[in-house]
């Protein structure tokens, strides 16, 4: 992840495709549903993962 300011950030190429986004207690929480435009369903290497990123 690339953070350019407290309000602007971007996921790097190859990162999970986040769905179900939330920010809770300073943490970005999302999941990769495995559905990507133009890809077969569940073809993502991180399909089904739930992840969080701590913003400090």
Q: What is the pTM of this model?
A: 0.60
Q: Tell me what pLDDT residue 38 has.
A: 81
Instruction: Kindly report, residue by residue over 1-53, the tens digit of the pLDDT.
Output: 555 555 667 778 777 777 788 888 888 898 888 887 787 887 778 888 898 88
What confidence score (pLDDT) does residue 56 get? 66
What phi, psi does 44 have (nearest 5°)?
Answer: -70, 140
pLDDT for residue 22: 87
Tokens of 38: 């133009």
d(CA 12, CA 2): 7
Domain boundaries, the chain: 16-54
């Amino acid at each position: 992840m690339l953070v350019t300011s407290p309000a602007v950030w971007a996921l790097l190429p190859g990162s999970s495709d986040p769905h179900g986004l939330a920010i809770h207690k300073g943490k970005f929480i999302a999941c990769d549903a495995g559905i990507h435009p133009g890809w077969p369903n569940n073809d993502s290497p991180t399909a089904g993962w739930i992840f969080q990123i701590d913003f400090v």
